[in-house]
């Protein structure tokens, strides 16, 4: 953790960068949230605030073990005292992580997102008249001997995090955790519905290529952009030219495969092609 000198205060008082970051967290809000949850007695000595400080230290310092977190916090405890944060031991932190509900930190994230959202807007051009979101999933591997509930392959353990990213602020606004076996397409609807607004544009990769999902999005009035499968069969593109140039083309088309016809019928979609030299 780096340090710098605060010119407006005592020139000889180094303030850690980590401590400066913590000042942007709403301590009073977190303490009120702490009253809403009921941790076991062994974790009562250390508050939700102490736990959040420990977890943030773990992330920013790149700690790989509870012992690293404990040793690092002990060395920084002097700089954290003025922030009313206590260094948690590794066993206490492990106990708090197991028994305190994740919902407290989840609510904290969205509280911070609402508070500081205005600082991150502006990544999208003003030509975008609708909000744009990117949908994707990530499989996070875990030790199978420690997390038997996460078994999804013969010798592998893991879970999936289905995430929707707001492209204007470049931050996630939906994060759903599921078993590693959960198909991306099956979780897509829940993730998109969590956004609330239907008049949006969703960008997805080829893993979400599903005719039923396409029609569900179309019927709810949600635009989507994805890559079409290479073996997809469609009507002749040249029969429905929207716009065409030297190195690009914008066409209307309909799916002609039997399975696609059963779901999509005569629904017209658009296909954009371009040549990248």
Q: Is the pLDDT of residue 40 over 60?
A: no
Above pLDDT 90, what percent of the chain?
A: 55
- The per-residue pLDDT for range 92-111, each reduced to its tens digit, is 999 888 888 888 899 999 99
Closest CA to 260 of 225, 211, 221: 211
Q: Report how far residue 262's alpha carbon sits from residue 209's, in angstroms, rounded to the nearest whole number.
A: 16
Question: pLDDT grade, residue 13 (50/70/90)?
Answer: very low
pLDDT digits (tens, 9 = 90+) for 188-234: 999 999 999 999 999 999 989 999 999 999 999 999 999 998 899 99
- For the whole model, what pTM was predicted? 0.82
pLDDT, position 263 = 96
pLDDT digits (tens, 9 = 90+) for 137-187: 999 998 888 888 888 888 889 999 999 999 999 999 999 999 998 999 999
The string of DSSP letters for the chain reads: --EEE-TTS-TT-EEEHHHHHHTTS-HHHHHHHHHHS---HHHHTS-HHHHHHHHHHHHHHT--SHHHHHHHHHHHHHHHGGGT--PPPHHHHHHHHHHS-THHHHHHHHHHHHHHGGGT---S-TT--S-EEEEEEEEEEE-TTT-GGGEEETTEEEEEEEEEEETTTTEEEEEEEEETTS-HHHHHHHHHHTT--SS-EEEE-GGG--HHHHHHHHHTT-EEE-PPPTT--BS-GGGSEEEE-SSEEEEEE-B-SHHHHHHHTT--EEEEEE---
Q: Which of 190, 242, 199, 202 is CA-nearest to residue 221?
A: 199
Region 62-85 average pLDDT = 82
Asked if residues 202 and 224 have their Cβ atoms less than 8 Å apart, the reply is: yes
């Amino acid at each position: 953790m780096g340090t710098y000198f605060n010119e407006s205060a005592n020139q000889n008082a180094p303030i850690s960068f980590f401590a400066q970051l913590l000042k942007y967290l709403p301590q009073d809000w977190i303490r009120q949230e702490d009253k809403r949850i009921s941790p076991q007695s062994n974790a009562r000595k250390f508050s939700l605030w102490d736990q959040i400080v420990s977890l943030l230290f773990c992330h920013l310092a790149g700690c790989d073990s509870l012992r690293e977190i404990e040793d690092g916090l002990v060395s920084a405890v002097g700089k954290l005292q003025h922030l009313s944060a206590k260094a948690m031991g590794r066993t206490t932190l492990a106990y708090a992580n197991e028994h305190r509900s994740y919902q407290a930190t989840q609510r904290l994230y969205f509280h911070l997102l609402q508070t500081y959202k205005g600082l991150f807007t502006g990544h999208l051009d003003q030509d975008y008249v609708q909000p744009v979101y990117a949908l994707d999933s990530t499989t996070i591997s875990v030790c199978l001997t420690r997390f038997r509930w996460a078994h999804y392959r013969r010798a592998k353990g893991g879970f999936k995090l289905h995430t929707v990213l707001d492209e204007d602020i470049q931050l996630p606004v939906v994060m759903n955790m599921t078993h590693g076996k959960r198909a991306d397409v099956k979780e897509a609807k829940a993730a998109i519905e969590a956004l609330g607004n239907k008049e949006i544009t969703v960008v997805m990769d080829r893993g979400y290529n599903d005719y039923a999902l396409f029609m569900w999005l179309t019927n709810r009035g949600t635009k989507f952009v994805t890559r079409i499968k290479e073996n997809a069969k469609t009507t002749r593109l040249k029969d429905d030219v929207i716009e065409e140039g030297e190195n690009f083309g914008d066409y209307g088309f309909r799916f002609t495969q039997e399975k696609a016809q059963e779901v999509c019928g005569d629904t017209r979609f658009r296909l954009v092609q371009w040549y990248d030299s």
